[in-house]
Chains A and B, each alone.
Chain A
Amino acid sequence: MQLDRFRIARNTIFGAIGGLAGWAVISLLLRFETTSTPLLLLKDALLGALVGLCIGLAIGAADQTADGWARRKLPRIGLSGLIGLGAGLVGLVIGEVIFLWAGGGVWPRAVGWAIFGLLLGVGQWPVTGLQNKGVYAGLGGLLGGLIGGATYERLSLTLLGLGAGRELALTVGGAVGLVLLGACIGLFIGLVETILRRVWLRFVYGPLEGKTFTLDSGRPVITLGRSDVCDIMLRHDPEAGAVHAAIATSGGAFTLTPRDGPVALRTTGAAQPVTTRILQPGDTIQIGRSRFVFETGVEHVGESQQ
């Protein structure tokens, strides 16, 4: 296991920007006052949908564009946003019902947001087609929602208690609270994924240096290359082929196959040119000018399948 702090930081910042965008959108669009509970629930549905859309888009963008932007990624990011919209709508209404039923407080708000985060995270499953990712992200969203919601509540109340005035307290508290909420969801999705994942590629040299990409047995083939159609785009590597190589998974083993270009691989000692090769943990692979290490969270790849 190796924490990818760059990815975690990126997810966190993207999530925070999503939360901030959500706050800005609801501040601008949903200013109507509600004085009755049915209207309040309707407003909650709209609030949750808009915030969820923004955070979903941000989380999706953070996850999908680690290796660069490509137009083909738009549908997935949009799907993440839509799932965020649904999760936010349902999550916030359920949260409000709990909040009202319990007579309010930190816990009901935190639980409400945790449901929102859970649904948002699990939404990464249909977005990426990876079940594991949905589980990681769901757990991350649950914890992140708990922390973000509790902090939101506390911050608003503290500002109110300082005599800041309701308008200022709710504006600033809402902004910081939603930024924290998005950041927590992003942070925990990243953190939990890097803790739970079993197999990944870590780039140690080249345009993607420092980044990691989780391999999942749910996706049979991962392609690497300079073309936009590749799962891992080596766009800024001048020496990478269009679809330079592919990593296929079956039966718990990951097989590397060169396609449009030569691939060098080093297990120990000197690098050797390879044709098709079952990857072992610690193998260093060179494609064009990019070099990456095949890493696993357990001793043997074969054990990584439950």
Chain B
Amino acid sequence: MKQMALRTTLLTGLGVFAVLWTLLMGIGVSGVSPAAGDARKDAAQFGAGAHIMYVDESNFPDVTVYLAVNDGGGQPILGLEQAEFTLHEDGEPVDITAFVGAGGGATSTVLVIDQSGSMGNEDKMGGAIRAAQGYMDSLNVGRDRLGIIVFSNWSLTLAPLDVVTDSGRAVLRGLLGALIPLAGTEFYAATIEGIKLLDDVDGRRVVLTLTDGMDNGGQARLQETIDAALAANTPIYVVGLGSDVDRDGLTQLATATNGQVHFSPNAAELEQLYASIASNLRNEYALTYHSLTPNLDGTRRDLAVDIDAAGGNISASGGYAVGGILASSLNLAVFLPTLLILLAVLVGLLFVPGVTHPRIRRQNTGELAATLRPDVVIDKSSEPGAQPEIIAPPREAPRPAPSLTCVVTMPLAAEATTLGSAPHNTWVLNGAGVAARQARITLNSNRYVITDLTGLSATQVSYNGSPEQLRPIQQNALRDGSRIVLGDVALVLRQTPTGAALERRLPLPASGLRIGAAPLADITVSSPQPLAIRIRHDGQHWMVECEVGQCQVSYSGDPAQLRPVTQRNALQPGSLVQVGALALRIEAA
């Protein structure tokens, strides 16, 4: 169960990491929302200067920028001409394709009015009605659009969004005047209704929403409202009336939607506030241009406006962004180096040891392989006297034996070494044409000398080892590498600082070689004990088998790893077998 807990912890950790990483990546990124300039909390804060109020990119790549230009008293400056405006996108100047001066544009407004029970106090309802009527009266007949929603526990669309007419205005004036305070405050739901009313409208639009209390549903729907406004690119202008409002929530709603927030302590000031909002909205300048980067690549475009007016140079900045969750572009000068560098790094990593595969072991892998091989004798030399153990019989289909060579090394005796086919020789050589007592090798003042004992010069020697130099001898000096031929047996003298030995190379037939004291052995070695060792291929592997007596084997070939074997052991090219004084090394043919 601990494992389960550990797994749960690790998985939770990964999930938390992923979310935190995403949050970290999101820090300081303004997103692709059609952000205008900085959100304004209060009308007083956007006094003198120019401000990008709204960017309409619904007809992208044609983009319309709405600009408020105010004097020192916060009043709109009217009458500026197109020539006085310079517009930059990402620092590049763009041509203004359409220009609408102050007061010349059309606006769409949805008024959202609180008629909850608390609006009955201090003539709040009356103030709100007068403010709404005043706002309606300031709109341009036949051009501006207006919709009205009133809300308490529910939202009621008093007027769907439509172009303002004189007769419509008269009807709405009457409807507004009949409003009476009722029940609770479903402020966010009503605001979302207002956003929906503006869904199909182009151009400058705003939801102007008024409340005097907390939303009955709390702040749960705040984010939902913000999301809806951002998705529709509709700014929310918020008016909080009295002291019971949720200032933080309302401020957040306005800020996040690039709207404005105004807090009015009493109803009497509402009319003036609405008039001011209407005036500012009506007197915005609308600058339309064609984007220099018309591709929807998901990136933000920075905007900068300079106005070279009589009162001096004023400027505004802002930006907007477009959709495009994954962009693709090709700049060969960047593409090829990026591709090659990344590809080289990644493919290179695949081949670095220790990254996707373990480092190559430096130890002797042959010996390691032998220790657990199912058909191999387990070396138990650490337990003296223990019987080696065969842990599984070979059961595979027979495989052809690889052709190998057996190199037999016969050390020379200190004084004299006799060679011949008869058993009393130091080394008995089994081969056609070998005399019973054929040759003797002696050490005379640090030099080995071979003497033919047959009297017929039957022994051939090549002093320098070259087969072409072989010639019959009576007596001849030897050195390291000298070749001796007796009958069809060829020997090479190997001299080392510690001694000398005769080397004989025998092909290893699949039927195997017998080594022992018996006359029938292929390689005879004298031994005080009975001895019969066999090297053969068992259909799967080369094996050394101790039929009688024992030998020593090093699977790896390292003489230091020689271990006694009394039954059988696998061999590989390079393996060493020691039988008495005789050393046999297995080599690839």
Q: Answer whether A and B are interacting partners.
A: yes
A291 / chain B contacts, CB cutoff of 8 Å = 372
Chain A residues numbered 100-132 whose CB sits less than 8 Å from any CB in chain B: 100-110, 112
Which residue of A has the minimal Cβ distance to B395? Answer: A262
Q: Is the beta-carbon distance between A172 and B334 smaller than 8 angstroms?
A: yes
Q: Is the CB of B323 within 8 A of A9?
A: no
- Whether the pair B392, A205 counts as a contact (CB closer than 8 A) is no
Are the C-beta atoms of B32 and A99 separated by less than 8 Å?
yes
Chain B residue at minimal CB-CB distance from A31: B330
Inter-chain contact A34/B296, CB cutoff 8 Å: yes
In angstroms, how far is the closest chain A Cβ from the Cβ of B188? 18
Q: Does B362 contact A (CB under 8 A)?
A: no
| Contact of A35 with B294 in the complex, beta carbons under 8 Å | yes
A289, B73: Cα distance in complex, Å: 90
- Docked-complex contact A263 and B392, CB < 8 angstroms: yes
Inter-subunit contact B61/A35 (CB<8 Å)? yes
Is A273 positioned at the interface, with any CB of B under 8 Å from its CB?
A: yes
Contact at A106–B395, with CB atoms within 8 Å? no
**Is A188's CB under 8 angstroms from B326's CB?**
no
Q: Is the CB of B394 within 8 A of A154?
A: no
Known: A166-B293, A167-B329, A170-B297. A20 touches B339 (CB 8 A): yes
- B contact residues around A31 at 8 Å (CB): 328-330
Q: What CA separation (Å) do A274 and B343 show in the bound complex?
A: 47
Checking A36, A95, A96, A157 against B300 with a beta-carbon cut-off of 8 angstroms, the contacting residue is A157
Is the CB of B313 closer than 8 A to any CB of chain A? no
Least Cβ distance of A278 to chain B in Å? 18
- Verify B372–A271 contact, CB threshold 8 A: yes
- Does residue A162 face the partner (Cβ distance < 8 Å to B)? no
- Asked if B29 and A271 sit within 8 Å, CB to CB, the answer is no
The verdict on A174 contacting B300 (CB below 8 Å), with A239-B373, A262-B375 known, is no
B391 touches A272 (CB 8 A): yes
Distance from A78 Cβ to chain B, minimum over Cβ atoms (Å): 21
Which of A22-30, A79-87, A213-221, A247-255 forms contacts with chain B? Answer: A22-30
Interface size of A by Cβ–Cβ distance < 8 Å? Answer: 96
- Determine how close the nearest CB of chain A comes to the CB of B313; give it in whole angstroms: 24
**Contact mask B447-472 → A, CB, 8 Å, 1/0?**
00000000000000000000000000
For residue A64, CB closer than 8 A to chain B, the reply is no
- Complex contact A297–B3 (CB within 8 A): yes
Answer whether residue B299 sits at the interface, using C-beta atoms and an 8 A cutoff: yes
- Chain B: minimal CB distance from A12 (Å): 9
Do B325 and A13 have beta carbons less than 8 Å apart? no
Residues of A within 8 A of B60 (CB): 35-36
Interface residues of A in 174-188 (CB under 8 A from B): 174-176, 179, 188
Given A6-B357, A13-B356, A102-B231, A24:B374 Cβ within 8 A:
no
| Given A34-B324, A175-B342: A286 in contact with B393 (beta carbons within 8 A) | no
The yes or no answer to B11 lying at the interface (CB within 8 A) is yes
CA distance A139 to B297 in the complex (A): 29
> Across the interface, do A109 and B227 meet the contact criterion of CB distance under 8 Å?
no
With A179-B342, A262-B374, A291-B372 as contacts: A171 and B22 at CB distance below 8 Å? no
**Contacting residue for A1 out of B7, B330, B378, CB 8 A:** B7
Q: Which residue of B lies closest to A10 (CB)?
A: B356
Find A99's partner among B323, B334, B347, B349 (CB 8 Å cutoff).
B323
Contacting pair B325 A92 (CB below 8 A): yes
Least distance between B286 CB and chain A CB atoms (Å):
21
1/0 contact string of A209-247 vs chain B (CB within 8 Å): 111000000000000000000000000000101000000
Q: Mark B385-423, 1 if CB is under 8 A from A, else 0.
A: 000010111111100000000000000000000000000
- A259–B125 CA distance with the chains assembled, in angstroms: 91
Chain A residues with CB below 8 A from B356, complex form: 6, 9-10, 13
Which secondary structure dominates where chain A touches chain B? Answer: helix
Determine whether the beta carbon of B395 is less than 8 Å from that of A44: no
Among A26, A104, A149, A271, the residue within 8 A (CB) of B374 is A271
Chain B 212-226 interface 0/1 with A at a Cβ cutoff of 8 Å (1 = within): 000000000000000
Shortest distance between the CB of B352 and any CB in chain A (Å): 10
A193 to B220, CA, bound (A): 38
Q: Which residues of A contact B295 (CB under 8 A)?
A: 33-35
A137 at the interface (CB under 8 A from B): no
B358 at the interface (CB under 8 A from A): yes
* Selected contact of A167 from candidates B34, B323, B334, CB within 8 Å: B334
A150 on the interface (CB 8 Å rule)? yes
For the complex, give the distance between the alpha carbons of A139 and B11 in Å: 9
The distance in angstroms between the C-alpha atoms of A143 and B17, with both chains bound, is: 9
Q: How far is the CA of A108 from the CA of B392 in the complex (A)?
A: 62
Whether the pair B396, A16 counts as a contact (CB closer than 8 A) is no
Known: A20-B339, A28-B330. A271 touches B11 (CB 8 A): no
For window 325-377 of chain B, which residues contact chain A by CB distance below 8 Å? 325-331, 334-335, 338-339, 342-343, 346-347, 349-350, 355-358, 368-369, 372-375
Cβ contacts under 8 Å, A30 to chain B? 328
Chain A residues, CB < 8 A from B375: 262
Bound-state CA distance A99–B227 (Å) is 12
- Least CB distance from B476 to A in Å reads 46
Q: Assuming the A-B contacts A156-B299, A171-B338, A271-B378, are A96 and B325 also in contact, with contact meaning beta carbons closer than 8 angstroms in the complex?
A: yes
Q: Is B87 an interface residue (CB 8 A)?
A: no
Contacts of B10 in A (CB 8 A): 195
Residues in A with CB closer than 8 Å to B227 are 101-102
Select the residue from A33, A34, A104, A144 with max chain B CB neighbours within 10 A.
A104
Instruction: Say yes or no: is B233 at the interface (Cβ < 8 Å to chain A).
Output: yes
Render B284-316 as a binary contact track against A, CB cut-off 8 A, 1 for contact: 000000000111111110000000000000000
Q: Which of A37, A196, A272 contacts B323 (CB 8 A)?
A: A37
B67: CB under 8 A from chain A? no
Q: Is the CB of A153 within 8 A of B29?
A: yes
Candidates B21, B326, B358, B389; contact of A48 at CB < 8 Å: B326
Of the residues B25, B31, B326, B343, contact of A44 by C-beta under 8 Å: B326
How far, in angstroms, from A205 to B233 measured CA to CA in the complex? Answer: 63
Chain A contacts for B300, CB-based, 8 A: 157, 160
List A contacts of B233 (CB < 8 A): 103
User: Does A261 sit at the interface, judged by CB under 8 A?
Assistant: yes
In contact, A105 and B325 (Cβ under 8 angstroms)? no
B567 interface hit (Cβ, 8 Å) = no
Task: Give the residues in chain A near B397, CB-CB below 8 Å.
Answer: 260
Contact A10 B14 (CB under 8 A): no
Q: Is the CB of B3 within 8 A of A153?
A: no
Are A40 and B21 within 8 A (Cβ)? no
B153 to chain A, nearest CB (A): 29
A101 to B90, CA, bound (A): 25
Q: How far is the CA of A175 from the CA of B60 in the complex (A)?
A: 27
Residues of B within 8 A of A149 (CB): 22
Q: A103-B231, A188-B14 are in contact. Are A262 and B355 (CB under 8 A)?
A: no
Contact B396–A241 (Cβ < 8 Å): yes
Query: Given A10-B356, A210-B357, are A146 and B22 also a contact pair (CB < 8 Å)?
Result: yes
A34 to chain B: which residues have CB within 8 Å?
Answer: 295-296, 324
> Can you give 25 contacting A-B residue pairs, CB < 8 Å?
A17-B343, A27-B335, A35-B296, A37-B323, A40-B323, A101-B227, A102-B31, A105-B30, A106-B25, A106-B31, A143-B15, A143-B17, A146-B19, A147-B21, A147-B22, A156-B299, A160-B299, A166-B293, A166-B299, A174-B326, A196-B7, A205-B372, A260-B396, A262-B394, A291-B372
A-B pairs, 8 with minimum CB distance: A104-B32, A105-B31, A273-B392, A106-B26, A103-B33, A150-B25, A264-B374, A210-B358
* A33-B296, A99-B325, A270-B391 known, 16 other contacts, Cβ within 8 Å: A48-B326, A96-B325, A99-B323, A100-B231, A100-B323, A146-B22, A150-B26, A157-B300, A170-B328, A171-B329, A171-B331, A195-B14, A211-B357, A261-B395, A263-B392, A273-B392
